Amino acid sequence: MTDDVLVVHGGTPLEGRIRVRGAKNLVSKAMVAALLGDSPSRLFDVPKIRDVEVVRGLLGLHGVKVTDGAEDGELVFDPANVESASTDQINVHAGSSRIPILFCGPLLHRLGHAFIPDLGGCHIGPRPIDFHLQALREFGATVDKRPEGLHLSAPNGLHGTKFALPYPSVGATEQVLLTAVMAEGVTELRNAAVEPEIIDLICILQKMGAIIKVHTDRVIEIQGVPKLHGYTHRPIPDRIEAASWAAAALATRGHVEVLGAQQADMMTFLNIFRSVGGEYEVTDTRPPKLGDPGQEGGIRFWHPGGELNAVALETDVHPGFMTDWQQPLVVALTQARGLSIVHETVYEQRLGYTEALNSMGANIQVYRDCLGGTPCRFGRRNFKHSAVIAGPSKLHAADLVIPDLRAGFSHLIAALAAEGTSRVYGVDLINRGYEDFEAKLADLGAHAERP
Ligand SMILES: CC(=O)N[C@H]1[C@@H](OP(=O)(O)OP(=O)(O)OC[C@H]2O[C@@H](n3ccc(=O)[nH]c3=O)[C@H](O)[C@@H]2O)O[C@H](CO)[C@@H](O)[C@@H]1O
Ligand SMILES: C=C(OP(=O)(O)O)C(=O)O
């Protein structure tokens, strides 16, 4: 742990321009989808993050040859040898990511059986997989839970089904999509998640030959097809990373342009950003023409000076305010005048990181009650899932240990906004979802170094 530390000298506004590439929460799923094709797939703008490495390793073990394409960030997946692969080493990936659960459908289609090692991912509550398993059973799979992982088989193949999710889970919706596309017959999924990353995954599957209808009211209908081919796809940019840098600009009274950030996928964040008092400008992409090199679009975010305003927000499924946006934004809210309220309704235990902010001088109280307008699943269930942030607070340096990805980025922002020198331990976790974050910090003029 001691060499996994970043020394951060706070108090300097972040100023400059960075770029975001393909979304962590799409790219890893797109990589799994390549398993379903009977010919190679090609994915562009793949960020160099740990989750991509983990899925690349898993695909390799399952016989998918993954190679770097000609363009920086391009990966090519050749699934020709899936049937003959030996997966003896699969447990080396136990505990490293949540993505292995999404291999169920594709492996059942290709092999008739699947072994899924223990899942990893962020420690932000219990994170059950009951919806996934229930859906797989509805398709006709048998699921055997053993201490070393899940053993699945589909002795009679997979068949389309009518299924309603108890909650619009992103992962469970992806599970159904990746399974239904090649199941025999029609699948109707109700209460599906409709995050932009899901829609992008649907675009990929459609490119592969799938037939998927997205109806109103969270209903998705999939008509199974016997065969899919490879895809070529440029994924949507990472809207969580873009919002994280926006929050960093606000918290440090800086000015950051995020190339690649897309307004349409960030509307809810942009509304809150403006309500807090942050300013932004959307710049459109101008394609190159003769005598004009063109310009890559993005969004410029800045602190206009003066005081920030307190706000009340609830995290929610799309099109609500993303749960992964709240941790970075809360750091900026410690600098707003008045009482801000954050009601976390997606994960029951995603506010633990506020203790570290309090150790730096923030004034954040967490409550078991639903403090937002809507009572949520976690009310009266003893989970501290609402926060009241009183500001503005002068943040001072501290020694911090990163608990998970987004909380980790919020610790980093707090250290950059604070006066004095902080030591942030466990920063390697941030590489799970933020490409080259140390180089980006340097580009933005942050004073941070490895000791
Ligand atoms: C790799 C990836 O894409 N991760 C994202 C994905 O996680 P992930 O797909 O794991 O999150 P889900 O949308 O599935 O989880 C939402 C809620 O549903 C619950 N649930 C989920 C599945 C299940 O079988 N049973 C169950 O109870 C969860 O505990 C949670 O309370 O969506 C989350 C919500 O936008 C984001 O925070 C994560 O960054
Ligand atoms: C919770 C997250 O990711 P994962 O689902 O991969 O743990 C995240 O990206 O913040």
**Predicted confidence (pLDDT) per residue in 220-236, tens digit:** 999 999 999 999 999 99
Give the residue from 191, 215, 233 where a domain finishes. Answer: 233
Domain co-membership, 334 together with 216: no
Rounded distance between C-alpha atoms, residue 363 and residue 359, angstroms: 9
Nearest C-alpha to atom 14 of ligand 1 is from which residue? Answer: 169
Domain co-membership, 14 together with 163: no
Atom of ligand 1 nearest to the CA of 26: 3
pLDDT of 1 over the 70 cut: no
Burial (0-12, 13-18, 19+ Cβ within 10 Å), 437: buried
What residues have CB less than 8 Å from 362, skipping those under 6 apart? 334, 354, 389, 391, 393, 395, 414
Question: Helix, strand, coil % (nearest 5) of the chain?
Answer: 30, 25, 40
What residues have CB less than 8 Å from 84, skipping those under 6 apart? 63
ipTM: 0.99
pLDDT at res. 2? 62
Per-residue model confidence as pLDDT tens digits over 152-166 = 999 999 999 999 999
pLDDT at res. 213? 98
Q: Could you tell me which of 375, 285, 382, 391 has the C-alpha nearest to residue 337? A: 391
Domain membership of residue 108 as a residue range: 24-233
Q: What is the mean pLDDT of the chain?
A: 95
Q: What is the best residue among 169, 178, 314, 323 to mutate for testing ligand 1's pocket, by most ligand atoms within 8 Å of CB?
A: 169
Q: Could you tell me which of 215, 218, 136 has the C-alpha nearest to residue 183? A: 136
Atom of ligand 2 nearest to the CA of 171: 5
DSSP string, 278-335: -EEEEE--B--BTTB--B--EEEEE--SS-EE--EEEB-STTSB-HHHHHHHHHHHTT
Domain co-membership, 83 together with 203: yes
What is the amino acid identity at position 110?
R
The answer to which of 136-140, 212-216, 238-242, 380-384 has the lowest mean pLDDT is 380-384
The answer to which of 80-89, 108-117, 350-359, 436-445 has the lowest mean pLDDT is 80-89
- 324 alpha carbon – ligand 1 mean position (Å): 11
pLDDT of 425 over the 90 cut: yes
Per-residue model confidence as pLDDT tens digits over 228-268 = 999 999 999 999 999 999 999 999 999 999 999 999 999 99
Phi-psi region of 382 (alpha: psi -120 to 50; beta: other; left: phi over 0): left
What does DSSP assign to residue 447?
E
Burial (0-12, 13-18, 19+ Cβ within 10 Å), 68: exposed
pLDDT of 114 over the 60 cut: yes
Residue whose pair of structure tokens reads 């000076």 in the numeric block: 305
Does 392 sit behind a cis peptide bond, omega within 30 degrees of 0 on the bond before it?
yes
Structural domains counted in the chain: 2
Rounded distance between C-alpha atoms, residue 40 and residue 284, angstroms: 33
The continuous run of DSSP H or E covering 359 comes out as: helix 354-359
Per-residue model confidence as pLDDT tens digits over 349-398 = 999 999 999 999 999 999 999 998 789 999 888 899 999 999 999 999 99
Rounded distance between C-alpha atoms, residue 433 and residue 25, angstroms: 9
Give the angle subtended at the CA of 235 by the CAs of 229 and 239, to the nearest 5°: 150
- Ligand approaching nearest to the C-alpha of 176: 1
Buried b / exposed e along 361-390 (16+ C-beta atoms within 10 A):
bbebebeeebbbeeebebbeeebbbbbbbb
Write out residues with Cβ below 6 Å of ligand 2.
Answer: 24, 98, 121-122, 124, 324, 405-406, 433
Give the residue from 191, 210, 233 where a domain finishes. Answer: 233
Domain co-membership, 334 together with 210: no
Residue whose pair of structure tokens reads 């599957």 in the numeric block: 205
Domain co-membership, 42 together with 103: yes
> Is 203 annotated as catalytic?
no
* In 216-296, alpha helices (H): 239-251, 267-276
Domain co-membership, 77 together with 102: yes
Is 404 annotated in a binding site? The answer is no
Give the residue from 216, 233, 250 where a domain finishes. Answer: 233
Q: Where residue 104 sits, what CATH number does that domain have?
A: 3.65.10.10
Domain co-membership, 77 together with 156: yes
The predicted model gives 189-200 an average pLDDT of 98
